[in-house]
Copies of this chain bind each other. A is one copy, B any other.
């Protein structure tokens, strides 16, 4: 356990030192979990060299069992506790400016009184972007259980069900398979319960959220995903549900159809599978993420399907994204991305189409980048499944 923590801390220390910082003080939930292998309320102090110190506010008792941990009541106690351990106060201090609130950052700035505050968020994103062997193992576990749950989805269907009723049964199947029912997301632009079930024309309703697909939702407070309409013959149902079976997650989409669907929908679905095969082969370390995006759109253009790709009335600007502790990590597969694939990145690829009057099509898999190409962590039949 401790060596895994050391490995992660060293991955963070590398960009930290490159930026000329003396230390990084971590408090964002996903990063606390990343640095301590468990979530606690408090702070992980990471010096430019050497071991981290975990400042634990809650739960009581944890500081007694976690190595290098110190119990505190509030962050203002950190400087004195560091001094007790013979650690000099950092002059150039990294804080998570992209994820912590303005008020949280100001409180930490006052408590630590550094000469300069640097943005530590990119260092953490960069470290977390390439997974360790232990992280890959956790995501393999997620993939095994998520695909196993998906195998049971077809039998949850009953004629004249609404999309919400169908989704409720899928949620139960996932939970019984061990899904935590909760996964972390970065930023405020993804609010959803356990995922998205998009049925028929609801696929073409624009959403305010940053998901690849839209949907009206059942309430104006949460305008995304299923909208409570009955599932009808000749339409598709896209299922993109929670893959968090531990602190990590995989991201998996499959498409069901109710009876026969128009040829255009089938063609688009086949095109999506063709894109996945092409990207699996092309996706080796050293390849720019923008190239993968362009490879996908070239195939879409060749097949004359651009009008429907990644949405119809409103389009998403990416075809894939990193995934791990959070559903949306680095890198993001966009035409303007400057990221380059590295071994052991984990990336969800979702080349999806919205066919007006029919629904959304196109599978999504989560992959590990390897020297031989993309390794599928969510292997499962990709063809449309009849309900």
Chain A residues close to B by CB (< 8 Å): 28-29, 33, 37-42, 57-62, 95, 97-106, 119, 121, 164-165, 168-169, 171-172, 175-176, 180-182, 184, 188-189, 191-194, 205-210, 214, 218-223, 246-247, 313-314, 325
Contact = CB atoms under 8 A, between A and B. Distances in A.
Contacts of A61: 206, 313-314
Contact of A182 (B106, B172, B191): B191
A314 B60 contact: yes
A184 B193 CA distance: 11
The main secondary structure of chain A at its interface with chain B is loop
Contact of A168 (B42, B97, B172): B172
Contacts of A219: 180, 246-247
A207 B61 CA distance: 10
Given A172-B172, A180-B222, A59 B247 contact: no
Contact of A191 (B42, B58, B101, B184): B184
Contacts of A221: 33, 38-39, 180, 246-247, 325
A165 B172 CA distance: 10
A197 to B, nearest CB: 12
Given A59-B223, A221-B247, 10 more contacts: A38-B220, A41-B208, A42-B208, A60-B206, A60-B313, A169-B172, A171-B175, A180-B193, A180-B221, A193-B194
Smallest CB-CB A-B distances: 6 pairs: A221-B247, A181-B193, A59-B206, A38-B220, A41-B208, A182-B193
22 contacts: A29-B191, A38-B223, A58-B206, A59-B207, A60-B206, A61-B313, A97-B103, A98-B101, A98-B102, A99-B101, A100-B101, A102-B102, A102-B104, A168-B172, A171-B172, A180-B219, A181-B193, A181-B194, A184-B191, A193-B194, A219-B247, A220-B247
Contacts of A106: 97
Contacts of A246: 219, 221
